[in-house]
A and B are shown apart, each in its own frame.
Chain A
């Protein structure tokens, strides 16, 4: 009998605890705001950590060269992103140093979509680069306490996971502030400046998170994150910076809700044709999708599943109770962060409502991508008049998204006046995608204008009268002044109603 060498899959060599001092953990995939605060959390725990550069068009080419044909757009972009970084580092430092100096940490998934198989593309790219001994590790997105990765160099424990989640929530609420403010800023560029200052201040807050001595006690770590004012105090300090920004809310702008596949809708850059920035430049106000909605979905989905399996699953009731408690902690924390910023960032949509809205069109247990949320969020925005238009960003060759977008045909049949722009992002067909979006945006602009005129007519106000009120109450022109939702989608229309209701007597 002879010996045979069978194929084996990639397995990273261990990343040891002793290596922590000298090895940098690479990560990426979110916005620069999220990544900066994630970096702070990792620095806080003594890791060297560095986000990959933001996605560029050239990453698409690099990814296409090295992985199997037919990959979905986020896989190609993110693989190419890692490839280009490693290539440049190899050129700068040499192969051996790169292999020993860096490890790459990426999100894993347990779903049926190929997101759970991204690492196959990464390893194929490493083969192509001749860097098979470069180490990459997976972080399961649904487990807060996974223990030490091979070698113990990276410990995915509660101190790290809660830090990451809190960092993401803070970045989310600040992203909302950014998109609520920038379209109306009177001094161009001021929002960007304040945003950078805010993130840097929060970087210090996360880096100096006082959790030393609590690493061993999970309840203490959870309790401290949940109960103390450490983060809300920091956000209140940040809020004061935003007060300096003057805004003009009488600029009539269509509100565009961004939905779609997770990576593509969250991304800000060339990976999605800079869609959010482009929409703003075209005169829109964008409602960005918070990562928190996705985390909320991940938390809530097991409840729905367990409720269906009460008779078959051991301790189903107890598990449901625990998840509900975690949900409560999550929502309360998010709302505290919102309140610290004056209640301006948007509330999270109720997961049960998203399920109920999507139910006739898309079954809530169909997993992958955004699942039923894509349909639910579009209907939520439309029926609650939260936006004039929904821009749905779907990656080329994304499997789950094509299904839910297909299901949207029935939604559009029932609500023909819903302005819905499904955009397929391939990375190399920008003009086509933008022109499609522009067609629907034109209609959204008309609706925003009609709404504004209707609000003026209903209230009997004029722009001049509002300007006069603003002159007497300069706090109205601060970016931190909150305008309630009065049933109009547009900011300007709601602003008119707000002025009318609050200053009716003075105006009379």
Chain B
């Protein structure tokens, strides 16, 4: 159990949640709750894996993952933005649709070896003690992209003009409409971006972190954990990144607990009976619940909450609803 190794692997695992959670933040900041993350991720994992396999080009694979997640999210956009359907139910159907479609199209992909996203070290930075080996040595390109992505997303949402419009659409769509901001257009755009990022998160699994296609086990609920993280992060990309890496490290640490025979000077119960590992496997899900309890209580105390119009369809001409 080497802390450097756990944190190193945790960053890679956390990158999956990071992309998915920030994608969901974009969508929810625009007022559209999309519970289809799990389905879009699975679709992205399948499309990325299968495209990389068939073309032999991993970049085309990543592009396919982005597009697959994005296109799938548009179904949710159409149904919730134009047809004003319930966002919860539509998101659930998107999960079914995405999962089903990924399983149908992903038939026969198991056990194949496509080109994967390359890993490399950052020269110079890798020499820093501790920080270097953990953050800058032999990581997938996607992990490095993730480092930059969270601060950029944060800056975009809170400190740019388009970011202001994005928040306005999610907080006060009627006011945004009056100011000439296209509520429908922006909602479609950010739902699409959220879908693209969920697809990328899926490809991060299948083409980088745990390469391969294992049908529904590929994501094993990480899409839902990402949705939970968004609430914990109170719709802030930086908090989401922190949560994602924390979760990634914990997930990895838990895996590594099953290795050593002696733990804290005692015989490791997991070494004696590997079935105790089932309890360890529960921890990410239990932690998600705990994170939600903490996040919800903080939100209640500080009155920091969801975007005001989250989950509500916007209907033109019915202002002040």
Q: Do A and B come from one complex?
A: no
